[in-house]
A and B are shown apart, each in its own frame.
Chain A
Amino acid sequence: MHGLVNRAVECFVRDTYSADNWRAVAQAAALDSAEFEAMLRYPDAVTQKVLVALVAQVGLDQSTLLEDIGTYLVSHPNAEAVRRLLRFSGVSFLDFLHSLDDLPARARLAVPDLDMPSLELYDHGAHSFSLTVRHDVAGFGYVMMGILRTMADDYGALAILDLVDSTAGMEIIQIQLVEMTFTDGRSFALGAAKS
């Protein structure tokens, strides 16, 4: 797994729970170092061990935690870069949904060896969509749920999300877009990146 993924989990635990909680997780998962390097690669088993330790540490089930990680990635101030990069994908939530297919390619422009899940959006009409999330490792579907839910808020859209199928290799999220401009959403300025 790419270090960015592991690092995201680490920062989620530090920022959402506490540094002590992360130390406990790192210890329980028998990590060599308590800090992941965002630009290195780690065996997939490491991520799995961290998630198992995290479930035991905070007492939530894994799917809830994965969705919380997705939410964290696009809402926490420490992860603002991720939210901004996603907002570049589209001017509205609908536009954003349609751009999801390109997201792995977009991510690879910045980090060529990032093995993101492949994403495919199907438009069923009447503002109903389904998103297929494919990756060797199951669980990315829940992370995407968190990301989509929070990005809908970010754009000010109202959407109902449902993970209908989560098997290893392929997960499917159903998306019902209720209203495009439910609230004003969060502002996004092209040139507002902190330097």
Chain B
Amino acid sequence: MTIFNPLPTLGAPLDVLCPMHVVLSSTGHIRHAGPTLAKIRTDALVGKRFLEVFELRRPRNVHTMRQLLDMHGSKLHMRFRDAPHTALQGVVVTLPEGEGAVVNLSFGISILEAVGTYDLTSADFAATDMAIEMLYLVEAKSAAMEASRTLNHRLQAAKVAAEEQAYTDTLTGLKNRRALDHILPRMIEAGKGFTLMQMDLDRFKAVNDTLGHAAGDFVLQQVARILVDEIRDSDDAARLGGDEFVLLFQGTIPTDVLKTIAARIIERIEVPMDFKGQACTISASLGIISGDRYCQQTAEELLIKADQALYFCKENGRGQFAFYDEGKMSNVIKGEGG
């Protein structure tokens, strides 16, 4: 019987095709190791038992050459027993005539570490191996990701800055405090007549507390809609935060017209609002100040005075409006009109 010696026939082509293969004898000893394996383990592999050099991790129950040969064709996960314990994956094929086996190995996902640990070059991989392409992709994608991250950070910062500079209350679409701070001084400076109404919702906190913030937000949006309805295009409605609103009316408006507007706003706000089957019942109080009569005031002073009128209403039973009048309030209960 001629002794089949796989080495001369297998070794040279396998070195090119699978530079990380080992040829095992029937006893499980390494007879030959591919050039890349030989490079990453400088102490000679040849002559050592395969299972002495490598620890099988998956499947774990492989301890003898017989058991290894039984794994023919299946995927194996292992690592070097010596440091560095680089993880490898591979496949074993048995040779005919009981001549042992060939195990082909690859770095798998540990490639990123391995190129650094062993200073691998393109020449260490088979020409058909996708390892280099994968390394390229990892670097290229990391660079692209880094650029995207930088962009995201900057966009985030720009968004925050834009929000800070915005004139719109995002919840209601009304103008916000910043907008009011911008508009009011200009109205005062223009010296033309205008009226400021400061409005606070009554029982809004109860809606928020019992039906939740979503209901509260819904109510604020409904109120905003009513306000926009009741003012002209040339007027402004702003939400200063919470349930505080300010209305600015352009031009000189007769007191009885202002009373009608205020009464109608309160009346409409008092109509229960349906939020997902739950009735939200609120009301509103308004403090009104004529910009014509107090045109020497600053915006801040005007707002404080309107607020005083507003608090006067609140103390007198809510759901009312009042005009600021030289320190004494001419309280007008809603619905009574002129």
Contacts and interface: CB of A to CB of B under 8 A. Distances in A.
A107 B140 CA distance: 8
Interface residues of B, number: 27
A84 B151 contact: no
A189 B136 contact: no
Given A38-B147, A40-B151, A190-B122, A84 B137 contact: no
Q: Is the interface of A mostly helix, strand, loop or mixed?
A: loop
Given A85-B136, A106-B136, A39 B120 contact: no
Nearest to A108: B140
A191 B116 contact: yes
A39 B148 CA distance: 6
B151 A39 contact: yes
A190 B115 contact: yes
A44 interface: no
B120 A190 contact: yes
Given A37-B154, A110-B140, A110-B141, A190 B132 contact: yes
A88 interface: yes
Contact of A111 (B115, B123, B144): B144
A106 B140 CA distance: 9
Interface residues of A, number: 20
Contacts of B117: 191
B119 A91 contact: no
Given A37-B154, A39-B147, A84 B139 contact: yes
A135 B144 CA distance: 23
Given A37-B151, A40-B151, A110 B137 contact: yes
Interface in A142-194: 189-193
Contact of B139 (A37, A38, A88, A111): A88
A109 B137 contact: yes
A38 B122 contact: no
Contact of B140 (A38, A85, A189): A85
Interface of A: 4, 37-40, 81, 84-85, 88, 91, 106-107, 109-111, 189-193
5 contacts: A85-B140, A110-B140, A111-B140, A189-B115, A191-B117
Interface of B: 112-117, 119-123, 132-133, 135-137, 139-144, 147-148, 150-151, 154
